Chain A
């Protein structure tokens, strides 16, 4: 790519076979295969049928991964998504139990999620000085709190009419519907982030917000849009979660934000903004889903699984950092 000044701007990635094989995404694919081999070795019941059967409850967190990747690329963070999932799952369940038809309940779940995202986005774009970590921390407490009030003293609700929900937790052959929905969203979000002007703007904001602003990128409008979209996706996640749990309680969605961030970071998306690709995040998402299914099948203590995920998360960032430090020392 030669600029007008005659200089060659080398920000287009090197497309040689070697660099393609050594990129983070290829490593992720290798890891994905390794994890699957490992699971097959340790668990006799780990086969494709069982994986698809147990997949939905882990797979729904991928809905949060897609918008979270955008938010991380922007250099922001949103830790309220788990609470949004809880609130919209609660609202949808309450609506269904009051005799509202499934489609309306689905719309309620999505709209509630979107409104929550809009609140986050409005506060963050109106008061740009505020750190997103703290704002979404506060809204997280509020959203969980509203759900708590709505659920009442019992703290949980179970669906009385599960007809509509059964439809979206159904299977086509042996593949659950949610798998196809995730794939569709994965394609949409990946294409928008990597192939459109909007996606490039997101990267521009993440790399240098001020510079992006002065070159005419509508920074705050894009942030508002992405935070609202995050809420919307959380609503969709809530809908599928309700179809698995047949209800909601005060702990629904707790820790989802951490899982989504972990998937993204593990997939090579930097939390400091402007770096990483959604493809890596998606592969790492599937890797974590498979690992969880495999470890769950051998009845590993759920907390031990979390320890392994925690170590993987830190290692994913630590290892490249250390290797970079070593190569720097060599060249110096």
Chain B
């Protein structure tokens, strides 16, 4: 039966391929309605505006692969972004590279604290990250001392998002590099496979000698590092640092993963899927005004799309399971 599988069958069997088709149809329909959608500058602008979500999606992919969840990431982002913003505003650090390093360091510290609480303290991820969501967001306000850093205060740092190398914006380069690294790490290295192993069956991996709690710590650390990086990116892309920046955007990140076929119970999902999920989220946000849906209805449509995707997911999974059983009966 296997060699008779048609091309169509192969495509529907792979989640990434079917998602890719959804993405292409989506692009095609929007292009039909509005021809300014698929131009290089429009796509570049869209990627730049969603770079923050796309980078954090990679970290969330890892967290979800372990069966965890992290809703503190937007707060981590605000803390690191706000710290960088204030450092520049006060003129303490002006070097762009150094700013990025500081943001990543702050993110790493946040991630390490979350990781320790979850892996060593055995606190449920949703509870721990809910607590840290309050704590880091509050810390961002404390750092800001009720001020914010505007475009004029950010000096040369905001130019980073305006400059480009080889015709591609710096911010998009960061996204490309992150995705390339994660694609290789998750697919072909020991660490990446360990994440999948722990997510699929924690007990079995522990018995086979993998330190599951270390993998868990590592995953939240990575999530923190990426959120820190995203914090610096958000400051340069939007040319402002406010303590309430990207409030509740962790939901967009989780939504991108879920649309990309990452299972929230762990063990299933891929970097490719996460990329497509993030792109679909980006395209929806970009396209709704283009096809004439009011900006005010965007959230509702976004929520509906998430709901439809996850329900479709279950329905296809059920029919797939049924077909497998049919094959056995024969």
Contact = CB atoms under 8 A, between A and B. Distances in A.
B299 A148 contact: yes
A280 B115 CA distance: 28
Contact of B255 (A137, A145, A148, A307): A137
Given A127-B311, A310-B131, A304 B138 contact: yes
Chain B interface main SS type? helix
Interface string A134-155: 1101111110111011001100
A207 to B, nearest CB: 16
A292 B59 CA distance: 34
A123 interface: yes
B303 A141 contact: yes
B258 interface: yes
Chain A interface main SS type? helix
A311 B135 contact: yes
Contacts of A153: 296
B294 to A, nearest CB: 8
A130 B302 CA distance: 18
B126 A271 contact: yes
B127 A310 contact: no
Interface in B247-284: 248, 251, 254-255, 258, 264-265
A153 B294 CA distance: 10
Contacts of A310: 130-135, 138
B310 A134 contact: yes
Nearest to B140: A303
B98 to A, nearest CB: 27
B142 A142 contact: no
Nearest to B121: A318
Interface stretch (A8-16, A32-40, A224-232, A258-266): A258-266
Tier of interface size on chain B: 35 or more
A141 B121 contact: no
B122 interface: yes
A311 B131 contact: yes
Interface string A100-134: 00000000000000000000000100010111011
Interface residues of A, number: 44
Interface in B290-327: 294, 296-304, 306-307, 310-311, 314-315, 317
A1 B131 CA distance: 40
Contacts of B204: none
B232 interface: no
Given A139-B303, A307-B139, A152 B296 contact: yes
A317 interface: yes
Interface in B35-77: 69
B170 interface: no
A262 B310 CA distance: 27
Nearest to A127: B314
B123 A318 contact: yes
Given A131-B265, A134-B254, A134-B264, A145 B299 contact: yes
8 contacts: A129-B317, A134-B310, A137-B251, A138-B307, A310-B138, A311-B131, A313-B130, A314-B127
Interface of B: 69, 117, 121-124, 126-128, 130-135, 137-139, 141-142, 243, 248, 251, 254-255, 258, 264-265, 294, 296-304, 306-307, 310-311, 314-315, 317
Given A141-B251, A271-B124, 14 more contacts: A134-B310, A137-B251, A137-B255, A148-B296, A265-B127, A271-B126, A271-B127, A272-B124, A301-B141, A303-B141, A307-B142, A309-B134, A314-B128, A314-B135
